[in-house]
A = this chain, B = another copy of it.
Amino acid sequence: MSKKERTAIQPTREENYAEWFQQVVRAADLAENSEVRGCMVIKPWGYAIWENIQKALNEMFRETGHRNAYFPIFIPKSYFEKEAEHVEGFAKECAVVTHSKLEEDGKGGLKPAGELTEAYIVRPTSETIIGASFAKWVNSYRDLPLLINQWANVVRWEMRTRLFLRTTEFLWQEGHTVHETSEEAMEETLQMLEVYARFASEFLAIPVIKGEKTEGEKFPGAVNTYSIEAMMQDKKALQSGTSHFLGQNFATASGIRFQNREGEFQHAWTTSWGVSTRLIGALIMAHSDDDGLVLPPKIAPSHIAIVPIYRDDAEREVVMAMANRIVESFKGARIDDVRVYTELDNRDLTSSERNWYWIKKGIPLRIEIGPRDVASNSVMIARRDLGPREKQSVEMENVVDYCLKTLGEIQKNIYERALKFRQENTVKIDSKDEFYAFYTPKNAEQPEIHGGFALSHWCGCPDCEEKIKDDLKVTIRCIPFNQDEEDGNCINCGAQSKRRVVFAKSY
């Protein structure tokens, strides 16, 4: 079988990575564009991944003392105007509600009517509207810390959109917390970054780099922004979660004041942090291959596809009996806290069609059962993280043990594969020429292909950051944690520097 025939996704990653991504999404039936500008429809297989992300994160948020709540979707324009940097950051791309009804336009259609006295903004993020509630809830240091999370839809009027990665409407969670001291708020900010990093590696099987954003890349209104950055298979970075130390900026804007232990009134210290349906984009781009989606078992909507094969009623009876026994044997099975689901697929399609259907959907394991398997009391099991032709014969009595063990191995394997890929494509660069060469495409037809992450020195000056961005479309993804001080020279201007930062092209 030629390589071309083997491949379910056209084009391949090498041929055209951006188009490959769209085709993987389509082949796995995860989502599609709607006719509403930049808004996507998340289809059941994609939405089930999101629900699993929610489930796992909810557990982690609860363990760290957070509670879920829900705040209005509309932000009065006056709230929005309160924090100068914030409004500057979001005013250029927001949905504005100006009317409260439609009435006949006299031409057989409808026109907006009932103009509002104050326009509302559909939330692009909720610091200002949640701040208005927090200002009422917080009166004394005894009310602190206040630890709230919200699951919601938000809207940002993006000019160029792409399924999951950048859409006008997207789903996310946004944590909002209030603290008595700057130190506690900073501790919370870093704790939630750590939660995100742990979630990305343990559930999504994506290794991430934790670090601080530069002044130019931080959240509008934040004092410090921290992020987790992941490498996709085209060697670009994808910011996968952010945690913001907001200082007293939003507390001042919203009037979140409390009586401290000395009996004096002061502004509180706040944080916010979020991850979104973008994580599904990260998941797809980190692990999938030219056969389609590859899902980490801990986040997959379902785990084992069972494909019975028979040619007549007699074969059907024995094969289906065995298939049903397998389904039955997985009732209540779990990997860690995650329930294991099976899909018995006896649709009226060839076994190859059914197999490829599940390969493209990224189901971690496939079990084929034919009359010969019944005779030998064993089945053939294929792992999605290996080639589609690699199958293992497993005795019936060992099927559950084998599958549970292997699901754990797949989770580990795809994490390690992603980690190795990142390590192989992350280079310390100390020469400007080398840096420019690293980010210069070798092939004019594929301008996106480049070297990967560069760990290089940066003097800390915004001009140097800007110059590199202008020249190469390369940005500082973060100033990574846990690095030793090291003398060096800024990759742009040559000035002295004490630390390396992570440079990359990004989504």
Q: Residues on A close to B: CB < 8 A?
A: 32, 34-36, 39-44, 47-48, 50-51, 67-77, 80-81, 87, 91-103, 109-112, 114, 119-122, 129, 132-133, 136, 148, 152-153, 155, 157, 169, 171
Contact B34 A129 (CB under 8 A): yes
Contact A94 B100 (CB under 8 A): yes
CB distance from A295 to the nearest CB of B (A): 17
Contact B99 A91 (CB under 8 A): no
Contacts A73-B169, A97-B97, A153-B153; A119 near B129 (Cβ below 8 A): no
Output the nearest chain B residue to A90 by Cβ-Cβ distance.
B102
CB distance from A116 to the nearest CB of B (A): 9
Contact B47 A68 (CB under 8 A): yes
Cα A98 to Cα B42 in complex, Å, equals 25
Contacts A36-B74, A39-B73, A74-B39; A95 near B68 (Cβ below 8 A): no
Cα A72 to Cα B41 in complex, Å, equals 6
Contact A35 B132 (CB under 8 A): yes
Q: Specify how many copies of this chain sit in the oligomer.
A: 2
Contacts A97-B122, A122-B97, A129-B36; A155 near B73 (Cβ below 8 A): yes
A-B contact pairs, 13 of them (CB 8 A): A32-B136, A36-B72, A36-B74, A41-B69, A41-B133, A44-B69, A48-B67, A48-B68, A74-B169, A77-B102, A95-B120, A100-B157, A102-B119
Contacts of A81 in B (CB 8 A): 109-110
Contact A44 B73 (CB under 8 A): no
CB distance from A119 to the nearest CB of B (A): 5
Contact A157 B36 (CB under 8 A): no
Contacts of A99 in B (CB 8 A): 95-96, 98, 119
Contacts of A69 in B (CB 8 A): 41-44, 47
Cα A114 to Cα B157 in complex, Å, equals 11
Contact B112 A96 (CB under 8 A): yes
CB distance from A333 to the nearest CB of B (A): 17
Contacts A98-B99, A100-B96; A41 near B71 (Cβ below 8 A): yes
Cα A91 to Cα B34 in complex, Å, equals 22
Output the nearest chain B residue to A79 by Cβ-Cβ distance.
B35
- Given A34-B133, A50-B70, A80-B102, 12 extra CB contacts under 8 A: A36-B74, A36-B120, A39-B72, A47-B67, A51-B68, A70-B171, A74-B169, A93-B101, A94-B102, A95-B99, A96-B97, A101-B157
CB distance from A141 to the nearest CB of B (A): 13
Contact A95 B100 (CB under 8 A): yes
CB distance from A158 to the nearest CB of B (A): 10
Cα A47 to Cα B69 in complex, Å, equals 5
Cα A129 to Cα B34 in complex, Å, equals 9
Contacts of A47 in B (CB 8 A): 67-70
Cα A73 to Cα B69 in complex, Å, equals 20
Contact A68 B92 (CB under 8 A): no
CB distance from A315 to the nearest CB of B (A): 24
Cα A341 to Cα B71 in complex, Å, equals 26
Q: Which of B35, B41, B101 contacts A96 (CB 8 A)?
A: B101
Contact B101 A34 (CB under 8 A): no
Cα A505 to Cα B42 in complex, Å, equals 41
Q: Which of B71, B80, B102, B132 contacts A121 (CB 8 A)?
A: B102
Contacts of A91 in B (CB 8 A): 101-103, 110
CB distance from A160 to the nearest CB of B (A): 14
Report the 8 A-B pairs with minimum CB-CB distance, sorted nearest first: A39-B72, A44-B67, A96-B99, A42-B70, A91-B102, A36-B72, A96-B112, A100-B157
CB distance from A100 to the nearest CB of B (A): 4
CB distance from A175 to the nearest CB of B (A): 13
Contacts of A114 in B (CB 8 A): 157
Contact B74 A95 (CB under 8 A): yes
Contact B92 A101 (CB under 8 A): yes
CB distance from A298 to the nearest CB of B (A): 19
Output the nearest chain B residue to A93 by Cβ-Cβ distance.
B101
Cα A87 to Cα B137 in complex, Å, equals 40
Contacts of A73 in B (CB 8 A): 39, 122, 153, 155, 169
CB distance from A82 to the nearest CB of B (A): 11
Contacts of A87 in B (CB 8 A): 102, 110
Contacts of A110 in B (CB 8 A): 77, 80-81, 87, 91
Q: Which of B42, B95, B132 contacts A34 (CB 8 A)?
A: B132
Q: Which of B70, B94, B122, B129 contacts A122 (CB 8 A)?
A: B122
Cα A199 to Cα B101 in complex, Å, equals 35
CB distance from A22 to the nearest CB of B (A): 16
Cα A44 to Cα B58 in complex, Å, equals 13
